Amino acid sequence: MARVVRTDRELELPGVDAALRAAGHELVLLQDGVPEEILVHETREAELLLMCYTPVTRRVIEAASKLKGIVKYGVGIDAIDIPAARQRGIPVANVPEYAEETVAEGAFALLMALVKKLKPLQRAMERAGWVWPTQEWLAGELAGKTVGLVGLGRIGSSFARMAGAFRMRVLAFDPYVGGTATDLRAMLAECDFVSVHCVLNDETRHLIGEAELRAMRPAAVLVNVSRGAIVDETALLRALQEKRIAGAALDVYSREPLKKTGHPLSALYAMDNVILSPHLTFYSREAMARLEAETLERCREVLEGKPLTVRSRDPRLRAQIRGVRFVD
């Protein structure tokens, strides 16, 4: 019997939890935002750590003397101290493919809702029961417009395919993909819509900053379903308040959960040209079934002493040399 710790229990994985318990393992479930001190204590004797959002720091990794693997049940690995895990020879894997179509669909839905003014329309219908076709309700169209993708990985590529079906012109900026734009600001200046689909790392933190927002057209809108910190959120809030861009649709935030009061971005709730989603564009029945199935496979590899399968192309994971096997 192994001790398995899973953080972020609010994201339910009933199939994974039941399978681990049925196999005789001790499963410890910890809430989102668990203090580092408690995580250190609970993982000290753990052989497997499952995490989604909770930071796995160097201190946690160094204190977990029996740890054999870390599995991120999701995509982004920015919350894990990968160098600390590599130094201890603890393999790390994520689940990169379970929701690429799902998140792309979510981003497209947010974009369409923003362009079609669905948020203020719904508010008006709830308040007055009906509205008439006056100027304030004039919506936009997607066909013939230019969308710029910041990141052209799995999700960005799926979004690009969907945009093509709507007869949109698609541009992309991705230093790791040939044939894409090499000047981010120049690309932004051409776009009616901008959608963010890159991973968060040291290179992409605040990639969309004050200068990039100023490069955007006044009628342009920004969609972010990737990671909040890719965008300088303070600069974004200022751009929206000063009406330097036309709107934003956000599913991710640097500080989660978002709150109606006491949060740096609380002012966004009152804006009709901003659509807010609670980091749930990945959350569909189909995607969660895929996530649970692959997460359980990774768990079994760790607990049975097999090499941990890494499907991600992220260089931080591909740099591992112990206890892993790579699958393209």
Per residue of the chain (328 residues), give pLDDT as tens.
Answer: 999 999 999 999 999 999 999 999 999 999 999 999 999 999 999 999 999 999 999 999 999 999 999 999 999 999 999 999 999 999 999 999 999 999 999 999 999 999 999 999 999 999 999 999 999 999 999 999 999 999 999 999 999 999 999 999 999 999 999 999 999 999 999 999 999 999 999 999 999 999 999 999 999 999 999 999 999 999 999 999 999 999 999 999 999 999 999 999 999 999 999 999 999 999 999 999 999 999 999 999 999 999 999 999 999 999 999 999 999 8
Write down the pTM of the prediction. Answer: 0.92
> Has 205 been annotated as catalytic?
no
Domain ranges of the chain: 3-98+285-326, 100-276
Q: Which of 101, 227, 294, 301 is catalytic?
A: 227
Cα dist from 3 to 25, 90, 138, 161, 178, whole Å: 6, 16, 58, 43, 45
Q: Write down the catalytic residue from 279, 292, 294, 298.
A: 279
Instruction: Give 193: exposed, middle or buried? Use CB within 10 Å, 0-12, 13-18, 19+.
Output: buried
What pLDDT does 226 receive? 97
Give me 301's structure tokens: 């590899």
Q: State the fold for domain 3-98+285-326.
A: Rossmann fold (3.40.50)
Confidence at residue 328, expressed as pLDDT on a 0 to 100 scale: 86
Same fold, 3-98+285-326 and 100-276: yes
Q: Is residue 318 flagged as an active site residue? A: no
Catalytic member of 214, 217, 256, 263? 256
Whether 263 is catalytic is no
Regarding the domain delimited by 100-276, which CATH topology (the fold level of the hierarchy) does it fall under? Rossmann fold (3.40.50)
What tokens appear for 316 in the block? 């931080």
